Amino acid sequence: MRSGLLTCENKNLNKFVGDNLAMSDIGLTTKMFVKDVMTSPVVTLDEHVTSNEVANVMAEKALGCVIITNKTGKPLGIITERDLVQRVLAKNLVPSNVKAKLIMTSPLVTISPNATVTDAAKQMNSLNIRRLGVVYKGSLRGIVTSKDVLGVMPELIEIIQEKTMISCVTEINQNPDVDSSLSGYCDQCDVYSENLKLVNGENICEECQSDLGD
């Protein structure tokens, strides 16, 4: 089958799937946690280092940001490449004279490692930011970025596609009187149809169903 989301069109079928068939029942889950995709350990620098030192560390380690902490290691904020450009270079300041604490974005927006990737994406979107510090019991454990989230989206989409297919097949088997039409690409002709039928384990469009009957 061509890569494309297969969907159940019948409202009763959708309701059955939503009310009665949890993903855990079929061994699948769309939940992926921040701890699974975050970068750890995260590079931190003291609030009193200069912006020049920050830039050097970011360049040496090929980083897009660093977390700024106080002397006890508590995360205070974050400095990104954009911060260096807008708050130092654009203002024609001398990097070696500007302390990190003066140009960092503070406070650091954080999330729990046990939050879902979806939660992280929603938080980034609502605050219009691309990075979240990952904190557990007051301790900085890592950092998660929008790139990390986007990196796992194809995998989540594949899981959802597989879950949808299994859910629909289960409903058809358990409720043969329910309209079982599906939307997707025909396994025979590879043409998109809004009225696929499951025939011998394949999703077949109406035209190909007629051909099979002949």
CATH code for the domain defined by 34-146: 3.10.580.10
Can you give the pLDDT at residue 16? 38
Position 31 pLDDT exceeds 90: no
Question: Encoding tokens for residue 124?
Answer: 């980034």
pTM summary value:
0.58
What rounded mean pLDDT belongs to the chain? Answer: 79
Position 84 pLDDT exceeds 80: yes
pLDDT tens profile 139-174 = 999 999 988 888 776 665 565 555 555 555 555 555
pLDDT exceeding 90 applies to what percent of the chain?
45
Can you give the pLDDT at residue 101? 95
C-alpha closest to that of 49 among 26, 74, 67: 67
Can you give the pLDDT at residue 150? 81
The mean pLDDT value for 90-99 works out to: 95
pLDDT band per the 50, 70, 90 thresholds, residue 8: very low
CB 109 within 8 A of CB 133: yes
> d(Cα 33, Cα 172) in Å, to the nearest integer?
32
Question: Which residues belong to CATH 3.10.580.10 in the chain?
Answer: 34-146
Cα 51 to chain centroid, rounded: 32
